[in-house]
Amino acid sequence: MGRLNNLNDEELIDAIKLLDEQAFTILVVRHTQRFFKLAVQTLQSVSDAEDVVQTAFLKFWQKPTAFDPAKSKFTTWFYRVVVNQCRDKLKQRRSSDDSVSAYIEYSASSLPQSHAGEDQGLERQQKVLEQQIALEYAIARLGINQREALNLVFYAHLSQSEAAQILGLSLKALESVLHRAKKQLSKDIGRYLSGQALDEISDMNPGKCVDNVSKHSSVSSCSSASPTQLLYGYQTQQTSKIRR
């Protein structure tokens, strides 16, 4: 297997076409994490993401000739496969509210429980996780096309041209989708951190929502900001208000 580890993706795929299981294992280990991260961000479910990525790789093993190296590199092509698998999985769900609910519950379950006498480090950790849930809540509310574009560009760190190719969009269309997504994120991050979304989340997940971080909200949209920057932009505005 040591020799196979030195092969690039296309060379491994040539071996896979000859039913080389070791080559397939190396390819899976090499790339699973990146595809899994995309699936988790899209589906808001670890188990569904695992299922999607496993299914995608299994289909590739069964038909490796589906990949044409003359048209794109393997990762670009396989991102497209995973995106399509995620879409199929989402179609099986009853409603978008179920999707939001599932991920908020998953995110909230990772929050540490604070106890009297513990140091401030735990409080800081809990605040960071609460802020992360605010961001994930906002992402979960996006339409699937917006979420896919956002995940590919800001979480998979692909170029906009590569993301557009994966999604079957023109570059201009992708830029428009990203702009609308970030505008919506700004709005929903503000709703969450100001407490406006707490009743909604509590209704979906009784006993599992977190307390709001702030009592005031005003998030300005920024077309060039990443999702995380939108969150930090909100926090900066609140700090400025306090200092006044």
Write down all domains in the chain, each with its CATH number in brackets: 1-92 (1.10.1740.10), 96-244 (1.10.10.10)
pLDDT band at 39 (very low <50, low <70, confident <90, very high): very high
What's residue 222's pLDDT? 39
pLDDT band at 228 (very low <50, low <70, confident <90, very high): low
Q: 244 pLDDT exceeds 90? A: no
- Cα–Cα distance between 219 and 32 in angstroms, integer? 36
User: Is 26 within 8 Å of 5 (Cβ atoms)?
Assistant: yes
User: Is 119 within 8 Å of 83 (Cβ atoms)?
Assistant: no
Average pLDDT over residues 211-219: 33
pLDDT band at 220 (very low <50, low <70, confident <90, very high): very low
pLDDT band at 153 (very low <50, low <70, confident <90, very high): very high
Average pLDDT over residues 216-220: 34
Three-state DSSP class for 91?
Answer: helix
Q: 112 pLDDT exceeds 60? A: no
As a whole number of Å, the end-to-end CA separation of the chain is 64
User: Is 222 within 8 Å of 230 (Cβ atoms)?
Assistant: yes
pLDDT band at 188 (very low <50, low <70, confident <90, very high): confident
35-39, 49-53, 139-143, range with the lowest pLDDT: 139-143
User: Which of 244, 229, 235 is CA-nearest to residue 217?
Assistant: 235
More confident: 231 or 76: 76
More confident: 228 or 143: 143
User: Is 49 within 8 Å of 39 (Cβ atoms)?
Assistant: yes
pLDDT band at 238 (very low <50, low <70, confident <90, very high): very low
Q: What is the pTM of this model?
A: 0.66
